[in-house]
Amino acid sequence: MAQAQAPCFMTGTLPLPAIVTFNPASVLCDNTRPAPFLKVPDIFIKSGDGTTIRYSDIDFPRSAGSPPPTIFALRTFGKETNVKLLEIYAQLYGCMNAAVRSQGDKKSIKSLKGPIAFLQLHLRRQSQDTTPSKLSELYSNVRKTCVKLRCSPAEIDELETYAKNNGIAIN
């Protein structure tokens, strides 16, 4: 029996924890562009209308003075209401998370947690499943991640404003 080929972005050899889920369907690699993470190629998806959405186009900046990844996600994705587009963003971030985990890149894994957590929260908020307890739980995870990544008090306030504006109870 032939062994299934790993997705093109899974360049490492480390096993993934069971909690890491990702959907490699329709995700392609572009080795002609700079790698967003060491040894991990840029990835992309062609949307239903033919638009190419690249991870590198929605990736958080890493330069000094840039907002923490969680706040970048809030500012970049927080006003988006197109669920299909949010699903593509989440799929790209999920695949990139799996890729850096397969490499064992702890710093990159840590930095990806914020955008992934925010996308999960915002996607849930935009979908039909807006169970208050689940939204509060997801928000709590986003906030904890932001604190761990050294968000400033003003940035935490931004998160709280998002939660309040979206009817999410803050515990």
Categorize the per-residue pLDDT at 2 as very low, low, confident or very high, splitting at 50, 70 and 90. low
Considering only CA atoms, which of 126, 109, 121, 58 is closest in space to residue 88?
58
Please tell me the pTM assigned to this model: 0.93
Percent of the chain whose pLDDT exceeds 70: 98
**Distance between CA atoms of residues 90 and 132, nearest Å:** 21
Instruction: Give residue-wise pLDDT tens across range 40-98.
Output: 999 999 988 999 999 999 999 888 889 999 999 999 999 999 999 999 999 999 999 99
Instruction: Give residue-wise pLDDT tens across range 82-138.
Output: 999 999 999 999 999 999 999 999 999 999 999 999 999 999 999 877 889 999 999
* Integer angstrom CA distances of residue 31 from 13, 14, 26, 56, 100: 19, 21, 16, 12, 16
- Residue 37's contacts (CB-CB under 8 Å, 6 or more residues apart) are 96, 99, 100, 103, 105, 108
Which residue intervals of the chain are DSSP H helices? 55-58, 69-77, 83-103, 106-126, 132-148, 153-165
- Range 12-32 average pLDDT: 93
Supply φ then ψ for residue 42, to 5 degrees.
-65, 145
The conformation of residue 14, written as its DSSP 8-state character, comes to S
